C-alpha cells in the first residue's frame, strides 16, 4: 500500500499534537520528570523525618512510657503537659538556641502573622510555665512525656519528630537534685531490662574557668560549640576547626583526653585548678551517687560538652554501651528562667529519647492476660460476644470476630495478632456450659467450664 506525503504530514502532525498535550500536562501539574515517584505518591508519604508507629511498635512505646511514668512518679515528680507549639520569642530566647533556632526548628506564622514554632525540647516550655506560675511550691518537680520536633537531617535513629521523657527539678541549687534525676533515669533503664549503660558527666563551670584563663569570652563560647561536635564529626575534624578559629587544639585535646577512673580524673585536674567550683560540684555528685546507689553508672568524661547554651553547671549524657549511642541527656540550667523574664531560680533536669530506647528493646514479657473468642458458627456469635464481654469486665483483654469468618479464618486472625489463647464457642460444648480453650503455641485444647474460664486463663 502506497502512503502519500500528505498522510505522512498528517501522522507527524498528530504525533506533534500528542506530544504538546503531554508537555502541557506535565507543566500544569508541575511534575519533575527526573523523579520516578509521582507527586501524588509523594503527597501520600509521611513527611521527611517522621514515621507511622504501627500497633506492635506503638504497644512497645506505650509500655515503655508506662514503666518510665511509674518510676518518675515514684520519685515524687508531678505530670505536666504543654502545647506542641510555642511563641518564637520563647524558642529563640537568648540562653537557649538563640536567633539561629529558626533554621533548626519548624518555624511558621499563623493567620494573624504571629511567629510560632514547634517545641524543640520540653525544657523551654517548662521555663515559661514557671515564669507564668511563680507561686508553684518549690522545689517544683515535674515530668513530661511527649513529642518534640527539630529540623535536623534524618539519620539512623535520628528523626525530626521524636518522643522525649523529661524530668526537671526547679528551685533547688543542691547537687542532690542533679543526682536524684540521674537515679530516676538509672531506675528507668534497669526496669526496662537494660544492663550495659552508663551516664557521662562533666561540668561547664569547670571548663569555663579553665578556658577563660586561656581565651576571651567569645573564644570560650566558640570552644564549647566546637567541642560539642566531638561525637558527630570526630576528633580530627574538631582539631581542624579549633585550629581554624585560632584555638590551641593540641593543648585543649590533651586536657580533655585524660584517662582514668572518676577519682583519678578529679585528683589530676585539682593539681592545676584547686579553686574551681565545678570540681567541687563533681565531687558532690560522686558522693551523692554513692548514697543513691548508682556510683557504678556514673563516668566523668571531659569530652562531654552539651550544645545548648542554657547549661550552666554539670551536664549529663546517657549512653547505651552495647550500641555506643546516646539515648538521653541534660544538665543544670540555673539562669534560663531568669533570662526569659521569670524569677531567678536554679534548675536541673534530664531527658530520655524514647525512640532510641524502644529501638533497643527486643520484646516485653507480656504478663497481660489476652484471649480471642471464636465461634464455630454465625449462630453462636452473640454467645461469643457475651463471653468476651464477661472476660473484659474481669480485666482480661478479649477480642471477637467482626467479619463473620469461619472458624479456620478466625484462628488465623488470632494467630496473626499473637493471641496466646483462643476460646472456641461450639454447640456441643455449650450444652455442657463449657467452651474449648486452645493454646495457640502448642495447638492443644481442653474443655473448660464457662464459670471457671477466667481462672483457667
Classify 109 in phi/psi space as left (phi over 0), alpha (psi -120 to 50) or beta. beta
For residue 99, the model assigns a pLDDT of 59
Task: Determine which of 36-40, 72-76, 199-203 has the lowest per-residue pLDDT on average.
Answer: 36-40
**Is the predicted pLDDT of residue 4 greater than 80, yes or no?**
no
pLDDT of residue 35: 46
Give which of 74, 126, 78 is closest to 347, Cα–Cα. Answer: 126
Q: Are 448 and 435 in contact (CB under 8 A)?
A: yes
Confidence of residue 67 (pLDDT cuts 50, 70, 90): very high
- Residue 111's pLDDT is 96
The predicted pLDDT at position 363 comes to 78
93-102 average pLDDT score: 69
How far CA 321 is from CA of 194, 317, 351, 352, 402, in Å, comes to 10, 12, 18, 15, 46
Q: Does residue 112 have a pLDDT over 70?
A: yes
Residue 193, C-beta contacts closer than 8 angstroms, at least 6 positions apart: 361
Q: State pLDDT tens for residues 366-378.
A: 667 899 999 999 9
- Check residue 272 and give its pLDDT: 81
Question: How many angstroms separate the CA atoms of 8 and 4, rounded?
Answer: 7
Place of cell 523551654: 124
Higher pLDDT, 288 or 93: 288
- The label of the residue with cell 511550691 reads 137
Instruction: Answer yes or no: is pLDDT of 76 > 60.
Output: yes
- Backbone φ and ψ for 61, nearest 5 degrees, come out as -65, -45
- The answer on pLDDT for 37 being more than 60 is no
* Alpha helix (H) residue ranges in 30-109: 39-43, 55-74, 88-91
- Strand segments, DSSP code E, in 126-210 are 140-149, 161-170, 197-203
Across the range 88-97, mean pLDDT stands at 81
Q: Which 8-state DSSP code applies to residue 79? A: E
Q: What is the pLDDT of residue 21?
A: 59
Task: Kindly indicate the confidence band of residue 6, based on its pLDDT and cuts at 50, 70 and 90.
Answer: low
Residue 212 confidence (pLDDT) = 87
Beta partners for 371?
398, 421
Would you call 49 helix, strand, or coil by DSSP? coil
pTM: 0.83
416-421 average pLDDT score = 94
What's phi and psi for 135, nearest 5 deg? -90, 5
Cα–Cα distances (Å) from 157 to 153, 318, 429, in that order, read: 11, 15, 52
Mean pLDDT over residues 351-355, rounded? 97
Give the domains, in start order, of the chain with CATH numbers. 5-43 (no CATH), 55-359 (3.30.930.10), 370-456 (3.40.50.800)
pLDDT digits (tens, 9 = 90+) for 202-250: 999 999 899 888 888 888 888 888 998 887 888 999 999 999 988 989 9
Which of 36-40, 41-45, 303-307, 380-384 is predicted most confidently? 380-384
Which pLDDT value is given to residue 33?
Answer: 44
pLDDT number for residue 10 = 55
Amino acid at each position: 500500500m502506497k502512503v502519500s506525503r500528505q498522510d505522512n504530514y498528517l501522522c507527524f502532525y498528530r504525533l506533534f499534537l500528542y506530544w504538546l498535550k503531554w508537555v502541557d500536562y506535565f507543566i500544569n501539574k508541575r511534575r519533575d520528570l527526573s523523579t520516578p515517584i509521582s507527586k501524588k505518591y509523594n503527597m501520600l508519604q509521611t513527611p521527611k523525618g517522621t514515621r507511622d508507629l504501627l500497633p506492635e511498635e506503638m504497644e512497645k512505646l506505650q509500655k515503655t512510657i508506662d514503666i518510665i511514668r511509674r518510676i518518675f512518679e515514684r520519685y515524687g515528680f508531678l505530670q505536666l503537659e504543654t502545647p506542641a507549639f510555642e511563641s518564637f520569642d520563647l524558642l529563640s530566647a537568648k540562653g537557649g538556641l538563640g536567633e539561629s533556632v529558626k533554621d533548626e526548628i519548624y518555624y511558621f506564622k499563623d493567620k494573624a502573622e504571629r511567629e510560632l514554632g514547634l517545641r524543640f525540647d520540653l525544657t523551654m516550655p517548662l521555663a515559661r510555665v514557671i515564669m507564668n506560675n511563680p507561686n508553684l511550691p518549690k522545689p517544683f518537680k515535674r515530668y513530661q512525656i511527649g513529642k518534640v520536633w527539630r529540623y535536623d537531617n534524618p539519620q539512623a535513629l535520628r528523626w525530626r519528630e521524636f518522643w522525649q521523657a523529661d524530668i526537671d527539678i526547679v528551685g533547688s541549687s543542691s547537687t542532690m537534685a542533679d543526682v536524684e534525676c540521674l537515679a530516676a533515669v538509672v531506675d528507668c533503664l534497669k526496669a526496662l531490662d537494660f544492663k550495659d549503660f552508663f551516664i557521662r558527666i562533666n561540668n561547664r563551670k569547670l571548663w569555663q574557668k579553665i578556658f577563660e584563663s586561656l581565651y576571651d569570652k567569645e573564644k570560650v563560647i566558640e570552644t564549647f560549640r566546637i567541642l560539642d561536635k566531638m561525637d558527630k564529626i570526630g576528633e580530627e575534624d574538631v582539631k581542624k576547626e579549633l585550629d581554624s578559629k585560632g584555638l590551641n587544639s593540641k593543648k585543649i585535646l590533651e586536657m580533655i583526653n585524660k584517662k582514668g577512673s572518676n577519682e583519678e580524673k578529679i585528683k589530676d585536674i585539682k593539681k592545676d585548678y584547686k579553686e574551681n567550683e565545678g570540681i567541687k560540684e563533681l565531687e558532690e555528685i560522686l558522693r551523692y551517687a554513692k548514697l543513691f546507689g548508682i556510683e557504678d553508672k556514673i563516668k566523668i568524661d571531659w569530652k562531654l560538652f552539651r550544645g545548648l547554651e542554657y547549661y550552666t553547671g554539670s551536664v549529663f549524657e546517657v549512653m547505651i554501651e552495647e550500641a555506643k549511642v546516646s539515648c538521653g541527656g541534660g544538665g543544670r540550667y540555673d539562669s534560663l528562667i531568669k533570662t526569659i523574664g521569670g524569677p531567678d531560680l536554679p534548675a536541673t533536669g534530664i531527658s530520655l529519647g524514647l525512640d532510641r530506647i524502644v529501638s533497643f528493646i527486643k520484646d516485653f514479657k507480656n504478663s497481660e492476660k489476652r484471649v480471642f473468642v471464636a465461634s464455630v458458627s454465625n449462630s453462636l456469635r452473640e454467645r461469643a460476644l457475651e463471653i468476651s464481654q464477661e472476660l473484659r469486665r474481669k480485666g482480661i483483654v478479649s477480642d471477637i470476630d467482626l467479619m463473620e469468618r469461619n472458624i479456620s479464618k478466625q484462628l488465623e486472625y488470632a494467630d496473626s495478632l499473637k493471641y496466646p489463647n483462643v476460646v472456641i464457642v461450639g454447640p456441643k460444648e455449650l450444652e455442657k456450659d463449657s467452651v474449648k480453650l486452645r493454646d495457640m503455641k502448642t495447638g492443644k485444647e481442653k474443655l473448660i467450664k464457662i464459670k471457671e474460664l477466667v481462672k483457667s486463663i
